[in-house]
Amino acid sequence: MTHPSIPAPVAVGALLAEAVRRLPGEEARVEAERLLAHALGVSQTWLYVHRDDALEADRVAAFTALLQRRLAGEPVAYLLGHRGFWRLDLQVTPATLIPRPETELLVELALARLPDDQPLSVADLGTGSGAIALALALERPRMRVLATDASSAALAVARGNARAHGLGNVEFREGDWLVPLAGEHFALIASNPPYIADDDAHLETGDLRHEPRSALASGADGLDAIRTIVRDAPAHLQPGGWLLLEHGWEQGAAVRGLLAAAGFEAIETVRDLEQRDRVSLG
């Protein structure tokens, strides 16, 4: 008989089933598999092949610790330390926003406006993990991408991501929005700035609760950062240049209004896959 203080070996399959039972939501299975693969340092495929393998107590303990943190609300991307965006796997830390699939729409809209055979300059303001800047740099190797962020901790992550993917055509500068780009002119300026209202109760829920407040919230109506960017962008755009801004689904009309007041033309708002206003440009 097994001594009670020495837990019986736990099989991979049994451990997964238990985690899936405890995790809430539709993503329970995929989250459990990702966390267990991470704790064991193996691929998710390995888990299927080794379903009946018994795990060492220290491996079980490592997984249980991750599972507890997930159950307490920490985002999966922070627990794993990385997140997929576009065709890139990006390191993310609590110093950076977790890149969202919606932001890939902004990348697509930018690429549609950037011919692939010209050595243009583009900017990404508030780059965070570097998601937008690195996706553009990857798809347009001849282009020069300048990325700014006010957070030196975020820039350290973004620089590491550029190195990890061998993207030498991105340059990072510390500072607010366009401030570090004095004298520079661009064919396109893109940003996924903070756009949630300071008092929005969503900031206390889900993943948002763990992400940098400065990457999410921006003033009483959430539009402070966008107002600053729209105000300053014209001086940094080449003739015919584009400004692309991600924003909240209820902010389309307000952002189009700001763009019009700043003298932008060809203004439009594009909807995301859920048919909600997501990116405005001019």
Q: Is 135 exposed, middle or buried, given 0-12, 13-18 or 19+ CB atoms closer than 10 A?
A: buried
Q: Which residues inside 129-188 make contact with ligand GLN, applying CB under 6 A?
A: 129, 131-132
Q: Which of 33, 95, 103, 228 binds ligand GLN (CB under 6 A)?
A: 103
Determine if 127 is a binding residue for ligand GLN (CB under 6 A). yes
Q: Which residues inside 37-76 make contact with ligand GLN, applying CB under 6 A?
A: none
Beta strand segments in the chain, E? 10-11, 54-55, 82-85, 88-91, 121-125, 144-149, 170-174, 186-191, 237-246, 268-271, 277-281
| CB-nearer residue toward ligand GLN: 19 or 146 | 146
How far apart CA 134 and CA 86 sit, in angstroms, is: 9
**Min CB(192)–ligand GLN separation in Å:** 4
As annotated, the binding site for substrate includes 192-195
Number of residues this chain uses to bind ligand GLN (CB under 6 A): 13
Answer whether 269's CB lies under 8 Å from 256's CB. Answer: yes
CA-closest candidate to residue 268, choices 208, 52, 37, 259 = 259
How far apart CA 80 and CA 212 sit, in angstroms, is: 17
Q: How far, rounded to the nearest angstrom, does the alpha carbon of residue 247 sit from its chain's CA centroid?
A: 14
**Min CB(194)–ligand GLN separation in Å:** 5
Q: Which of 91, 178, 180, 194 binds ligand GLN (CB under 6 A)?
A: 194
**Min CB(166)–ligand GLN separation in Å:** 20
Determine if 126 is a binding residue for ligand GLN (CB under 6 A). yes
Residues contributing to the site for ligand GLN (CB under 6 A): 97, 99, 103, 126-129, 131-132, 192-194, 215
